[in-house]
Chain A
Amino acid sequence: DTEVTQTPKHLVMGMTNKKSLKCEQHMGHRAMYWYKQKAKKPPELMFVYSYEKLSINESVPSRFSPECPNSSLLNLHLHALQPEDSALYLCASSPSGLMNTEAFFGQGTRLTVV
């Protein structure tokens, strides 16, 4: 299994809603990532988890809250988002995050905040 699975694929939420994005991998990877991507722009790193511990937070607003319940799962909890948070949210994993390891990406969740 070489897949990173993200659910849901599409999400529309109001600014007062609370929702969660889910990411799952069964490749035994110990580094997992959340990226945000606006249209025609590169992915921007949000968070990195290494061995289920948060290792990098790229100064992301607190309305985004990551969680890594176990080595296979990564969640992104969303609360009180703004319309400008509408984007493609990509999850990725890699065996270690060392310089010679590529990241495997999920298909993303297209989020629209109304």
Chain B
Amino acid sequence: AQKITQTQPGMFVQEKEAVTLDCTYDTSDPSYGLFWYKQPSSGEMIFLIYQGSYDQQNATEGRYSLNFQKARKSANLVISASQLGDSAMYFCAMREGMEYGNKLVFGAGTILRVKS
């Protein structure tokens, strides 16, 4: 079964506007972590933001915030004030459980294009 689902293959946003990238997940483990990564065309994976399953507040990192709705099992990424450099592939990812060295599993990704 798909653990991480990103339903938007591609998104466009106007420069300086906000955009929301969707992510839903599936797990029966009460302990899990959710991550967002950015991958520019150069290939490197850049960590953006983390949300833990026990965190009471939504995570924020600069222009990035995570809209965490635990009951709905969704962890959407909100990018405020989009910039041309935000154009990239964005991946949602999850770790489950408390085992050492466990997996980081990725969703299919969303390609974001910022228009000037």
Residues of A bordering B, CB below 8 Å: 30-31, 33, 40-43, 45, 48-51, 55-56, 88, 90, 92, 94, 96-108, 110
Contact = CB atoms under 8 A, between A and B. Distances in A.
Interface of B: 31-33, 35, 37, 42-47, 50, 52-53, 89, 91, 95-109, 111
B52 A31 contact: no
A107 B106 contact: no
A106 to B, nearest CB: 7
Contacts, number: 87
Contacts of A40: 89, 109, 111
Interface-centre pick from A90, A97, A98, A102 (highest chain B CB count, 10 A): A102
A110 to B, nearest CB: 7
Nearest to B4: A42
A31 B103 CA distance: 10
Contacts of B53: 99
B52 A105 contact: no
A106 B46 CA distance: 9
Contacts of A103: 35, 45, 47, 104
A37 to B, nearest CB: 8
Contact of A99 (B42, B52, B91, B108): B52
